[in-house]
C-alpha cells in the first residue's frame, strides 16, 4: 500500500526516499547505504546505541556530521577499550569541541561499555542479545516506540544501561535493521527487505 506522498521525497533523478533524509547528501547516503540494513557486528551495534544516546534532544544529522569525531574520541567504540575510561578520560572528552560535550551522555557511554562487557559475557555477544528483539518488517506508520523497543529498553535498564529509553531504542532498532521502517514506496525499502531475508540472526 503506497504511503502518503508527504512521507516520501523525490530527488532530481526521480528516486523516492523517506521524507526525513531531505536533500542533504550526507543524510541521503546514510539513508541509502546504512539505515535499516541488518547489522550483526558488536562494535557497530554499540556505536549506534551510544550515538542514539548522544542524539537525545538533538537532530540525527547533527550527530551524523560529528560521527567520525565521536569514533576518534571513543576509540572506535571498541567497548572493551571504552570500559577502561576513567574520570580523566571523561574530563578530556568534555573539553573536546568536536563532539557533543555533555558530561552525562559521555559518562553514559563509559557506563554502557562496562555493561556491554557483562552482556556480551552473558549472551555470547551483543548481537545475539539484540536480535532476540527483532520486530516485524511491516511499516507501522510514524511511531516513536514499539512493543519490541519498550521491552528491550526495560531489559537494558534492568542491566544498568543508561540513555536507553524506548524512543532511543526504537531509533536504534530502525537503524540497525531489527525492523524495516522505510516508508512503502521508498527506493530503499525493497533493498532492506531483501537484506533482511538473507540475514541470519546470530544466536
Task: List the domain range (segments joined by +) for residue 122.
Answer: 5-198
Q: Which among 27, 35, 60, 79 is annotated as catalytic?
A: 60
pLDDT (tens digit, 9 = 90+) per residue, 91-145? 999 999 999 999 999 999 999 999 999 999 999 999 999 999 998 877 767 789 9
CA atoms of 88 and 199, how far apart (whole Å): 41
The number of folded domains in the chain is 1
> What are the tens digits of pLDDT across the range 155-189?
999 999 999 999 999 999 999 999 999 999 999 99
pTM: 0.94
193 is a domain residue = yes
Answer for the pair 63, 55: CB distance below 8 angstroms, yes or no: yes
Is residue 34 part of the annotated active site? The answer reads no
Residue 2 confidence (pLDDT) above 70: no
CA angle 76, 78, 81 (to 5 degrees): 110
**Distance (Å, whole) CA 57 – CA 187:** 29
Asked if 12 is an active-site residue, the reply is no
Domain CATH code at residue 184: 1.10.340.30
Which among 30, 34, 107, 134 is annotated as catalytic?
30
Note the pLDDT of residue 199: 96
Decide if 175 is inside a domain.
yes
Residue 203 falls inside a structural domain? no
Q: Is 30 a catalytic residue?
A: yes
Amino acid at each position: 500500500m503506497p504511503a502518503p506522498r508527504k512521507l516520501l521525497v523525490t530527488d532530481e533523478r526521480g528516486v523516492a526516499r523517506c521524507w526525513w533524509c531531505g536533500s542533504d547528501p550526507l543524510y541521503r547516503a546514510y539513508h541509502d547505504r546504512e539505515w535499516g540494513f541488518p547489522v550483526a557486528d558488536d562494535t557497530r551495534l554499540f556505536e549506534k546505541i551510544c550515538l542514539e544516546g548522544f542524539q537525545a534532544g538533538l537532530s540525527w544529522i547533527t550527530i551524523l556530521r560529528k560521527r567520525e569525531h565521536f569514533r576518534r574520541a571513543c576509540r572506535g567504540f571498541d567497548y572493551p577499550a571504552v570500559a577502561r575510561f576513567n574520570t580523566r578520560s571523561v574530563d578530556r572528552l568534555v573539553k573536546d569541541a568536536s563532539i557533543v560535550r555533555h558530561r552525562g551522555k559521555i559518562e553514559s557511554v563509559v557506563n554502557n561499555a562496562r555493561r556491554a562487557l557483562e552482556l556480551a559475557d552473558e549472551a555470547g555477544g551483543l548481537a545475539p542479545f539484540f536480535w532476540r528483539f527483532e520486530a516485524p518488517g511491516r511499516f507501522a506508520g510514524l511511531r516513536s516506540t514499539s512493543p519490541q523497543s519498550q521491552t528491550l529498553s526495560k531489559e537494558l535498564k534492568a542491566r544498568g544501561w543508561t540513555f536507553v529509553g524506548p524512543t532511543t531504542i526504537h531509533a536504534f532498532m530502525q537503524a540497525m535493521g531489527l525492523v524495516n521502517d522505510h516508508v512503502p514506496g521508498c527506493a530503499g525499502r525493497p533493498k532492506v527487505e531483501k537484506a533482511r531475508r538473507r540475514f541470519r540472526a546470530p544466536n
